[in-house]
Structure 1
Amino acid sequence: YIQSIVQFSQAPGEVELVSARHPEIKSPADFKGATLGVTGLGSSTDFLSQYLAVRNGLKPGDYTLLPVGAGNTFIAAVKQDQIQAGMTTEPTIAQLLKTGEANVLVDMRTPEKTKEALGGPYPAASFYVQSAWLEDHKDEAQKLANAFVMTMKFIATHSAEEIADKMPKDYYAGNRDLYVQGLASGKAMFTPDGRMPADGPPTVLKVLSTFSKSLQGKQIDLSKTYTTAFVDAAK
């Protein structure tokens, strides 16, 4: 078993972009016959793309998923019309919006917009460990949790500008203003204190069960997949 002990995000922080060349795609219901870009097969962009399609009445064979990475490779796939729509994160989002080569179709950078798209909060990135390791390393786990909780509180209480000042310059991908803009747009994806949203795990299970045969018909005890004990004790 593995358990999340600090929850970093309460929303995926991802956006389904549609190429400006394809105004006919007005919602995921219009994905039929399209090639959709994902960062990689088996990634969260893959799962969420499939769920958006299924939730809007499509079947897996109605569209094609193409792994195109992120950043320049994703942008090139849009420019070359290899993909008609695709899911990615910042700063790729901001770069394509700035040039006008893509538009936002589904925004999942905030809890509110994620709830609209998926029907509930979607906890994504987390610090998770093997349960067997946790039993014998609670002191180490607590120290790590302390550091991560401090980080989440810093993000919640500082502006995108202030956070950018603390980051390595290569994070800017050559454009600090775009990095700050993207961070400001997506900062709400992070939990303010490292705590798992109570109704988040059921949303994730619902999304994955929609198309994952390994989960369909199985009983999953979600209470075993995370703990708030270390966040509660964080100093």
Structure 2
Amino acid sequence: MKKITALGMVCTVALLAGCSDPKAANEDNFKKALNTHYEKNCVALSWMDFSNSHPGYPVSIKLETPTMFRGPEGTAEANEKKLAPYEALVSAGLLKGEDGQVKSDGLFADSKDTPAPGRIYSLTEEGKKAYQSPGNTFCAGHYTVENIERFTPPSDSPMGKLSSVVYTYGPDGEIADWAKNPAIQKTFPDFAVKLTPHQHGHEELLLTNKGWMPARDFQK
């Protein structure tokens, strides 16, 4: 019995040592490495807007006017489409919009352009907290790893020991309320997909002197 007990103690100590070793190839260490990555990278709402040539806020959007090729109804539809991203952010409380006389501010704006009716958008206090400069980017929160599905035994590479890890992940419990706003979800369907749980991920993890980390983060 003493021999069995002693052997059991040795095994237990070995298992504990393996669990606490940050360089061991196991699910706990891989999950920790991936979550460290996600803590530094936001789940971001971002889009390209060619009607605005400079990054940052406030933003002035000149409204379209009827032409011989486009009547009032078509013009209203064009303006609604142009303003939709900004108005969604207004609905979510990140921006405030005001009518005003503005000049064209797009990529092909003419410096001799005369002021015309438009909308001016600026950040609210809530928007300032979420905004990430430059561009139209707002941070909604972070992901967390749900489960490590499988991984390969560490193998040699020019960078060092690598393990290929497949896992599921999703938004953590602190996603901002504005991200769930119906107008945001409708206007930015790709962003809505980002907020779904049980997404599948694949990452090459690199063994460093301090433990595991995504290989793509090594030189950052």
TM tier relative to shorter chain: under 0.3
Structure in which a larger fraction of residues adopt helix: 1
Which structure's CA Rg is the greater one?
2
Identify the structure with bigger relative contact order (alpha carbons < 8 Å, sequence gap 6+): 1
TM-score (norm 1): 0.24
TM-score (norm 2): 0.25
Structure in which a larger fraction of residues adopt strand: 2
